[in-house]
Amino acid sequence: MKKMKVKNTVRYLAFFLLLAGITSMTAQQRAGGLALYTVRDAMGEDANATLKAVADAGYQNIEAAGYADGKFYNMSPMEFKSLLADLDLKPISTHQGSVTIENADNMMADVRTAGFEYFVIPVPPMGMFEVNMENRKMSMKGTAAQLAEILDTLGKKANVAGLKLLYHNHDFEFEKNENDVVIIDYLLEHCNPEFVNFQMDLYWVTKAGADPVAYFEKYPGRFKIWHVKDMDTDGRFAPVGKGTIDFNRILQKKELSGMEYYMVEQDNTFDTPPLEVIKISYEGLKKFGFR
């Protein structure tokens, strides 16, 4: 009888070890990152369920885009960090469009507490960004020199806070302004790389008619995170692998670019639910060899 109990105990122990191994393996198989801006409406409705769906879709890392009044998606920095840890999701970067010189220190403290590594400026901050509502065209108010000075100041603050600052591009930064200056080139050449680097949005670079690889070659090591989203034949956002962007060619220059992380993002998913789109894009990542 005693032998039977021992055998059963061994069987149960082996079963639980196997189960733990399967769970661990599943976590290890997850890869890549998702910009939560893609699922912003779902995050507003039920952040817990949405983040679980993100993890279940296969993503390991996240980029936030939901900070207000000292909270991430209505959670304190520690609550948000704890929720991500429970789901085995890693906070890598966060878009902080409302940052100013005055509120930066408190905001960066919150970002650091939540466990993020990168503090991302998603558009020219402090009133320097505008959208023409008639044609939806984005543009910048002020000069490239003014923006570079602001970014350097914020970059130094981020460094003191234990964070790394990145600037995220759209398409307008690749156009020449009235002074014949290409804004993104000016920023790359004048911002101090010790404090300011860049998040390259591959869709918007392509939309602007520029070549990501050419920028990697001209400014090596400056593009620490990529936004990976595709473009359909009409120039609209598309899931990864369902469009025309040559990710194979771009991915071959990963080391040259300085890329440390990548985040799938799709600003508008049109008729397909965002939580379905992120699954499609995850499969697309595999097609191109993203790891």
Beta-bridged to residue 137, according to DSSP, are 132
Residue 97 confidence (pLDDT): 97
DSSP states along 149-217: HHHHHHHHHHHHTT-EEEEE--SGGGSB-TTS-BHHHHHHHHS-TTTEEEEEEHHHHHHTT--HHHHHH
Element (H, E) at 35: strand 33-35
* Predicted pLDDT at 29: 81
Q: How far apart are CA 287 and CA 291, in angstroms?
A: 11
Percent of the chain with pLDDT over 70: 90
pLDDT at residue 146 tops 50: yes
Burial of 39 (0-12, 13-18, 19+ CB in 10 A): buried
State pLDDT tens for residues 225-249: 999 999 999 999 999 999 999 999 9
**Residues found in the chain:** 291
Beta strands at 137-140 and 196-201: parallel, antiparallel or unpaired: unpaired
pLDDT score of 62 more than 80: yes
Position 6, amino acid:
V
Average pLDDT, the chain: 92
Least-confidence region, from 9-18, 35-44, 139-148: 9-18
In angstroms, the CA 230 to CA 234 distance is 11
Which range has the worst mean pLDDT, 72-76, 156-160, 179-183? 179-183
Q: Which residues share a beta bridge with 41?
A: none
15 pLDDT higher than 80: no
